Amino acid sequence: MSEFLAMGGYGAFVWPCFALAAVVLAWNVRSARRQLALAREQALRRAAAPDRA
Amino acid sequence: MNWIWFHKLASPPHAYGIAGRLAPWFGWPAGMLILAGLYGGLVLAPADYQQGDAFRIVYVHAPSAWLSMLVYATMAVAAAVGLVWRIKLAHAVAAAAAPIGATFTALALATGAIWGKPMWGTWWVWDARLTSELILLFLYAGVIALRASIDDRDRADRASAVLAIVGVVNLPIIHYSVYWWNTLHQPATLTKLGKPSMAGDMLWPLLAMLLGFTLYFGAVLLVRLRAEILRRERDAAWLRAELA
Amino acid sequence: MTPRRKRLLAVIAIVAGVGAATALAMFAFRDNLLYFYNPSQVLAGDAPSGRTFRIGGMVTQGSVQRTPGTLEVRFVVTDFRHSVPVRYEGLLPDLFREGQGVIAHGRLNGGGDFVADEVLAKHDENYMPPEVAESLHPPTPAQAAE
């Protein structure tokens, strides 16, 4: 296991790359879902009170 | 020619529904392909004869660089369709694509820098490939900033569409930079014609990651597109029926 | 002409115009876009003289000489037509080895040597396990003896 983490001495370069990729993949999913939830919430509020919005 | 199907597809209620139904069909295969690619790339693939285990960075670097260009092409084509045919849905697609592309361009640049340090001996050089990819990041930033700076939605759509279309010139430059000029960056490992310059047990995880990232982009784009449609259509009658 | 066709032509004109302008600009500045010169270009006098530039090529087999106890290293860079000797003092990247592509930054001295202040390794687009590489290129006697 520790040999796997060492990546032949390049662990300090390999793992940050995969960590950054994980961050970008996760951020895009989270951001897309949040945008959709927010937009839906706003649309619902507008539909409930069309005069005030 | 009968364009009715096209306009029906491009109508917001239709697109909103289809995007919602389609997204999981992209998302789940994407997740499985990326997991398989990770396992194949990190565990099963042997170390490279020259770069040792550092070559494994290719499994996130190449797919993100591929997406940086695919997303830009998608955004520019959508912007052109929106400009020429005045299809608002196309502008919504372009608006949804921009932030996705920007993050993957940044990822390609960052992983490239981290890979370059041990292999080349430097984080960054101003060669044609790296510089043109950095310009791509600025183009994304410009398109996003331009859209954000204009309050009127139609004008924002048109202005950012023109910028996105102008920037398309950069795509062939990025792709061919390694052939046109002497660069530190090596030429492409995978080309449409010709055998890939990679051993089979290293190759399949890369192909899985490339396809996985592509499908992932499809899924995220569809979800962002739904949000974009909701924001643009907030006063439409169909929306009230949809949400009720 | 319908308005739609007009807009389509406008979009095509934008792409063509910007493309042509970019192509012209790149043609005008093509020398500056070259990240390095190969030994043939250097010996033909194409490289800028009197200021620093980059030279790129393959490290000739058997040409690397290190001065014991220092970081000084000498090697020959070749493009298989012409060669230029390089002198460098400092740390080398992991991929630096004989037969490897390198890019050195520095200037020519009076004696025809290239004095480098930075050496970068270039790698190719081929990826394979060591066993496959060996079967493709059997090690030279010198490498086998190491």
ipTM comes to: 0.91
- Going by DSSP bridges, is the β-strand pair C114-122/C83-89 parallel, antiparallel, or unpaired? parallel
CA C4 to chain centroid, in Å, comes to 48
Would you call B114 and A16 a contact, using CB atoms and an 8 Å cutoff?
A: yes
**Distance of alpha carbon B22 from alpha carbon B79, whole angstroms:** 22
pLDDT in the model for residue C67: 87
The answer to whether the CB of A39 falls within 8 A of the CB of B230 is yes
The model's pLDDT over C29-47, given as tens digits with 9 standing for 90+, comes to 776 677 888 899 888 888 8
Looking at the structure of chain C, the number of domains it has is 2
The answer to whether the CB of B56 falls within 8 A of the CB of B42 is yes
**Distance of alpha carbon B176 from alpha carbon B186, whole angstroms:** 11
Q: Domain boundaries in chain B?
A: 14-243
- To test the contact with chain A by mutation, choose from B43, B56, B71, B119 the residue with the greatest count of A C-beta atoms within 10 A, namely B56
Q: Which two tokens stand for residue B46?
A: 């042997």
Residues C25 and C66 in one domain: no
Chain B partners within 8 Å of A4 (Cβ):
42-43
Across the range B122-133, mean pLDDT stands at: 91
Structural domain boundaries, residue C17: 1-33
Residues C27 and C39 in one domain: no
% of chain C surpassing 70 pLDDT: 90
**Three-class SS state of C106:** strand
How far is the alpha carbon of C102 from chain B, nearest alpha carbon, in Å? 9
Residues C2 and C69 in one domain: no
Q: Point out the residues of chain A with pLDDT beneath 70.
A: 50-53
Chain B partners within 8 Å of A44 (Cβ):
243
pLDDT at C135 over 80: no
C103 has which bridge partners? C56, C120
CATH architecture of B14-243: Up-down Bundle (1.20)
From chain A residues 14-43, the ones with a CB under 8 A of any chain B CB are 14, 16-18, 20-21, 24-25, 27-29, 31-33, 35-36, 38-40, 42-43
Q: Which residue of A has its CA nearest to B20?
A: A36
Would you call B198 and C127 a contact, using CB atoms and an 8 Å cutoff?
A: yes
**DSSP characters for B163-190?**
HHHHHTTHHHHHHHHHHHS--SS---S-
**Distance of alpha carbon B161 from alpha carbon B147, whole angstroms:** 9
The model's pLDDT over C58-108, given as tens digits with 9 standing for 90+, comes to 999 989 999 888 889 999 999 889 999 999 998 888 888 888 889 999 998
Nearest to A10 among B54, B106, B243 (CB): B54
- Per-residue confidence band for B238, with pLDDT thresholds at 50, 70 and 90: confident
pLDDT in the model for residue A53: 46
pLDDT in the model for residue C143: 47
pLDDT in the model for residue B193: 64
Neighbours of chain A (3+ CB pairs under 8 A): B
Q: Domain boundaries in chain A?
A: 15-53
Across the range B164-186, mean pLDDT stands at: 91
Q: Which two tokens stand for residue B61?
A: 């670097």
The model's pLDDT over C105-122, given as tens digits with 9 standing for 90+, comes to 999 888 888 999 999 998
Residues C71 and C11 in one domain: no
Instruction: Please name the amino acid found at residue B187.
Output: P
Distances (CA, A) of A5 to B40, B81, C84: 15, 48, 41
Across the range B162-167, mean pLDDT stands at: 95
Chain A partners within 8 Å of B50 (Cβ):
none
Burial status of residue B65 (CB atoms within 10 A of its CB: 0-12, 13-18, 19 or more) = buried
Residues C124 and C80 in one domain: yes
Residues C56 and C125 in one domain: yes
